Structure 1
Amino acid sequence: MLMDPDTLAQIVPAVSRLEKVGENEFNAIAEIKLGPVNGAFSGGLSLSDIRENEGYNLHVKQTSKIGNADALISINLKPVSDSETELTFDGNARLSGLLARTGQRVISGVANTLTKQFFTNFEEALAAS
């Protein structure tokens, strides 16, 4: 599910559209509206270092009038039982423009909120399938 573009478009917060442009590469359109951080973003989303049933890297590069974001997130999957999988992730992002000047505390809060939304959306997609 985490590699399906339709599922990703539903569960990644603020993404309104994913358009496939190549093998594991997509154009992404997103809108972020959280407190002082809001703007329309466009750019790319790609999957790399794909390890079947183990994980992959998600690279997101977005631009907007309020700044640019370039993030690399490593998603790792570990079977716990026949019906459970542990998902862990780690990543970092480079920001520029107004986004970078907004302040670490505000951006960290936005990142935490988006992460929680991602997992809530993912749990809902799992329950629906």
Structure 2
Amino acid sequence: MQLTGSHVLNAPVSKIWGMLMDADTLAQVVPAVSRLEKTGDNEFKAIAEVKIGPVSGSFSGDLSLADIRENEGYTLHVKQNSKIGNADASVAISLKPITDSQTEVSFDGNARLSGLLARTGQRVISGVANTLTRQFFDNLEQAINENP
């Protein structure tokens, strides 16, 4: 499944970068993540509760950051396992200043699903991915507004 998109946030690149590199902030803004624990440099254990159409489950796995370019972006690797299937994703995240107070955050990558997740159907999963993406950017905007 392809994951692509972008969103403009009303904050400078340095602020967005700091938030995207902070585990506590990520745990707050990433939808469905109930816990994010640092296990090493740029490596985390992630626990998530996800509902995809009629299927829901608790996921546990690893999240890591690679190819880190300060204030420009990184590659996010996620491997999550559950009773309803597994997800393995790699997504390039890029930050681009639009003005001194606006930043475009874009992402491009793909996710491979297996088990019941893969059988749920591309249309349902794409809809859920779009909803989770919207929630992520809404949550990030709220966090920016709460911490000017």
Q: Same fold (TM over 0.5)?
A: yes
TM-aligned CA deviation for residue 37 of structure 1: 2.8
Pairs within 5 Å for 1:7-18:
7-18=25-36
How many angstroms apart in 1 are the aligned matches of 2:37 and 2:124? 30
> What is the SS of the residue equivalent to 1:6?
helix
Aligned Cα root-mean-square deviation (Å): 0.8
Q: Distance in 2 between matches of 1:38 and 1:116?
A: 19
- 1:35 paired with 2:53, answer yes
Q: In the alignment, is the contact (CA less than 8 A) between 2:52 and 2:124 conserved in 1?
A: no
The aligned counterpart of 1:98 is: 116
Partner of 2:91: 73
Structure-1 residue corresponding to 2:81? 63
Partner of 1:108: 126
Shift of 1:3: 1.0
| 4+ residue segments displaced more than 4 Å | none
Aligned to 1:82: 100
In structure 2, what is the Cα distance between the partners aligned to 1:34 and 1:106?
7
Deviation at 1:85, TM superposition (A): 1.1
Q: Provide TM-score, normalisation by structure 1.
A: 0.97
For the structure 1 residues 114 and 28, does the alpha-carbon distance in structure 2 shift closer, same or farther, using more than 3 Å as the test? same
- Residue 133 of structure 2 aligns with an amino acid whose one-letter code is T
Does residue 54 of the first structure (1) align with residue 62 of the second (2)?
A: no
Does residue 4 of the first structure (1) align with residue 19 of the second (2)? Answer: no
Which residue identity is paired with 2:40? G
What is the distance in 2 between the residues matched to 1:76 and 1:11?
A: 17
Which is worse superposed, 79-88 or 37-46? 79-88
Cα deviation for residue 94 of structure 1 reads 0.2
Contact 2:66 2:76 in 1 (8 A): yes
- Once the two structures are TM-superposed, the CA of residue 70 in structure 1 deviates from its matched residue by 0.4
Compare relative contact order (CA 8 Å, sep 6+) and give the higher one, 1 or 2: 2
The two structures have a TM-score, normalised by structure 2, of 0.85
Structure 1 gap ranges (5+): none
Q: Cα distance, 1:34 vs. partner?
A: 4.0
Query: Which stretches in structure 2 are left out of the alignment for 5+ residues?
Result: 1-18
